[in-house]
Every structure is written in C-alpha cells, then in structure tokens.
C-alpha cells in the first residue's frame, strides 16, 4: 500500500475517545461519586507496561478498599464508564520505552493505545514529581490526579508535555532523511528536536535542520501531531522547503543523512528488499509524515538551480 491507502492508518497513541470530564476533576463530591460508580474501571498496568488480553487492554473493577487519592481519573469512555489508573510512588529504573510498550499499538484498537499513552504519561509524571520544585516540600495529587499541590508552600504543579518538531525538508523532488547512531542498521527517518523556550514551531524546524544538517529552509507547513508517552512529548510533524541541498552534519546528533527521491521513499514504505533505507515503524508519526508526502503534499516544484549535492566529509 501507499498514498491514500496507508494514509488511513493512525499513528500510535492517536485516536483517543475519552471525555476528560474537567468538571468532575475539580469537584470533590462529583469525583467521589464517580469513583464509587459500579461501572468504574481500573486500567491495569504492570509498572508502566500495558497489560493486554484477547486483543484489548485489561480493565478491572476498582477494589473495595481502593482510595480515590491513589488514582488518576483518565476520563469517561463512550459507554459511560469512568476509567482510572493507579498511581505508583516509586517506579524504579528502566523507564524507557520497551518492546512490550511499543508493541501494544499492534495488539489493541487505536482508542485503547491512546488510553494507555495517557495513563503511562500521567503515572510516570506523578512518580517523578513527589516533591515541590519551588521549596522541596512533599506534594500530593489533587484534581483527580491532574495536578499536584505542595503541602508546604501551596504551589501547584501540572503534568508537562514537551513539544518536539519532526520534519522533512524538501528539495527538487527529494526529502532529507537522517539516522541516529543507536538505530538499527539501515533505519532512516525525519529529523527531530525539542522546541526551545521563546521559539515558534516554524523557528524550531528551521533551527533544528540547520543545527543537525546545515541547511536553511523556508515555507514551513504543519502536517499532523502525535502524543508520545516516553515519557510525555507532543510530536509536531512539518514539511519545509530547502533551496540549497548541501549538507554539513552535526555527527554528535546524527550519524548520517541523505536526500531520497520519491521512488526510494515509496520502496522503503512498501518494505522492498532493495529500498535505500529501512522506514520508521507505522506507530511513529515519521512514517505518516512520509506517507503524507507520498500521497500528494510533495514533492514541491523544482527550485532555482543550485550547486550539486555535497554530503559532509564526515558522512561521505
């Protein structure tokens, strides 16, 4: 498949259907009533890992002795069931994504993958923010687990989401792809980086492409986004235009990069054995960004003539 057929597949952690019921979060009486609802369910987690059975995440009735303050209200599902996750005081080491947490995208429906992503991000945040960043005092969960409040100075802290730009640069019917040192052999993807304070999305795209690949871009356009719960980022996918394809790589950030034409991207997305690179997995927004480009968002018209492509000496 390619183009519009692949375009219908959602990135991982996208497609949530929960009503996040803010009025219940901020009303202690309504929260207690919701927690006592016989229809309420606990999303079972193994630490931060998902628990799946028969093609679905495991949801259990709340225990008779469960306390509302030990849980976060994820929301209410379309059938009216309140869904909670249990907070964990100490998660220990090993908080990076694992094959098990990544594989859930292929095992349960999209809305359940999104549910797991929300729970994972929140449980991780609570375990890592037990003390106040203002005064060092202990913090307690409030607002149904969507905030923590310092018991000493009263400062309130909210779950954070870190914006990350992930982008394709276009030039003459080709897109720029790069790889990190730790990736599997042959894997290439869109370049990416965190948005810094005081930056727009467009400025972050331009800065990251210049810092990592030495190219200047213009006409940045937004394509889509994806929550990424490892631990809690928002991937903001964009495409930009480059007028000069010459690369100067920052090899502390990326091992290699190259310009790939339409045929090469199509072969990689189809998983062909002789493709010029190994494509990202379908759960990653980078796969969908490439699919979007194949489907018609690119390639752009050929820009004015520029010097021939020169890859950096370090990557040659």
CA 159 to CA 301: how far, in whole Å?
43
Q: Is residue 43 part of a domain?
A: yes
CA 165 to CA 68: how far, in whole Å?
37
- Same domain, yes or no, for 59 and 117? yes
Alpha carbon of 95 to those of 49, 90, 219, 294: distances in Å? 10, 11, 37, 35
Residue whose token pair is 């000069």: 244
- Same domain, yes or no, for 185 and 292? yes
> Tell me, what's the pLDDT at 46?
92
Q: Is residue 182 part of a domain?
A: yes
Query: What CATH number does the domain containing 282 carry?
Result: 3.90.79.10
Residues 72, 85 contacting (CB under 8 angstroms) = yes
- For the chain, which ranges sit under pLDDT 50? 1-7, 297-316
Domain coverage including residue 264: 161-296
Compute the chain's Rg from CA coordinates.
22
Say how many CA atoms lie within 13 Å of 10 toward its Cβ. Answer: 16
Alpha carbon of 264 to those of 42, 62, 274, 308: distances in Å? 46, 51, 9, 19
Q: Is residue 272 part of a domain?
A: yes
- Same domain, yes or no, for 183 and 71? no
- Same domain, yes or no, for 266 and 167? yes
Q: Out of 126, 148, 177, pick the residue that ends a domain.
A: 126
pLDDT in tens, 222-273: 999 999 999 999 999 999 999 999 999 999 999 999 999 999 999 999 999 9
- Same domain, yes or no, for 165 and 292? yes
> Tell me, what's the pLDDT at 99?
87
- Same domain, yes or no, for 204 and 271? yes
- Same domain, yes or no, for 122 and 172? no
DSSP secondary structure string for all residues of 192-217: EEEPPTT--HHHHHHHHHHHHH---E
- Same domain, yes or no, for 292 and 185? yes
> Tell me, what's the pLDDT at 96?
74
**Tokens linked to 13:** 């952690």
> Tell me, what's the pLDDT at 94?
58
Q: Tell whether the torsion through CA atoms of 275, 281, 282 and 288 is positive or negative.
A: negative
- Same domain, yes or no, for 186 and 291? yes
Structural domains counted in the chain: 2
Name the pTM for this structure: 0.89
What are the E-state strand segments in 52-127? 52-53, 56-57, 59-61, 71-76, 82-86
Q: Is residue 2 part of a domain?
A: no
- Same domain, yes or no, for 117 and 190? no
In what side-by-side order are the strands of the sheet with 41-43? 59-61, 41-43, 82-86, 71-76
Residues 38, 109 contacting (CB under 8 angstroms) = no
- Same domain, yes or no, for 119 and 165? no
**Tokens linked to 200:** 């727009």
> Tell me, what's the pLDDT at 95?
64
Q: Is residue 190 part of a domain?
A: yes
Q: Is residue 139 part of a domain?
A: no
Q: Is residue 133 part of a domain?
A: no
Q: Is residue 146 part of a domain?
A: no
pLDDT in tens, 89-128: 887 765 677 888 989 999 999 999 999 999 999 999 999 9
């Amino acid at each position: 498949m390619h183009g519009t057929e692949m375009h219908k597949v959602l990135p991982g952690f996208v497609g949530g259907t929960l009503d996040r019921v803010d009025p219940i979060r901020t009303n202690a009486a309504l929260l207690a009533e919701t927690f006592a609802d016989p229809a309420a369910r606990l999303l079972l987690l193994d630490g931060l890992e998902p628990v799946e059975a028969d093609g679905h995440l495991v949801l259990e009735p709340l225990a008779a002795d469960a306390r509302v303050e030990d849980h976060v209200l994820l929301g209410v599902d379309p059938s009216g069931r309140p869904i909670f996750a249990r907070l964990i005081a100490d998660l220990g080491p090993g908080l990076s994504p694992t094959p098990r947490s990544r594989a859930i995208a292929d095992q349960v429906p999209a809305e359940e993958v999104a549910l797991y992503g929300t729970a994972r991000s929140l449980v991780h945040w609570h375990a890592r923010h037990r003390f106040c960043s203002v005064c060092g005092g202990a913090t307690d969960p409030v607002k149904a687990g969507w905030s923590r409040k310092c018991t000493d100075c009263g400062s309130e802290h909210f779950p954070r989401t870190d914006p990350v730009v992930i982008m394709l640069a276009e030039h003459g019917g080709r897109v720029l792809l790069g790889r990190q040192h730790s990736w599997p052999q042959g894997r290439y993807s869109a370049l990416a980086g965190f948005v810094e304070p005081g930056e727009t999305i467009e400025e972050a795209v331009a800065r990251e492409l210049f810092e990592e690949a030495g190219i200047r871009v213009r006409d940045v356009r937004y394509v889509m986004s994806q929550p990424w719960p490892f631990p809690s980022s928002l991937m903001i996918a964009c495409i930009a235009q480059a007028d000069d394809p010459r690369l100067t790589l920052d090899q502390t950030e990326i091992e290699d990069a190259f310009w790939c034409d339409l045929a090469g991207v199509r072969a990689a997305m189809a998983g062909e054995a002789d493709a010029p690179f190994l494509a990202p997995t379908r759960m990653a927004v980078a796969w969908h960004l490439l699919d979007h480009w194949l489907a018609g968002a690119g390639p752009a018209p050929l820009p004015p003539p520029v010097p021939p492509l020169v890859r950096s000496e370090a990557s040659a």
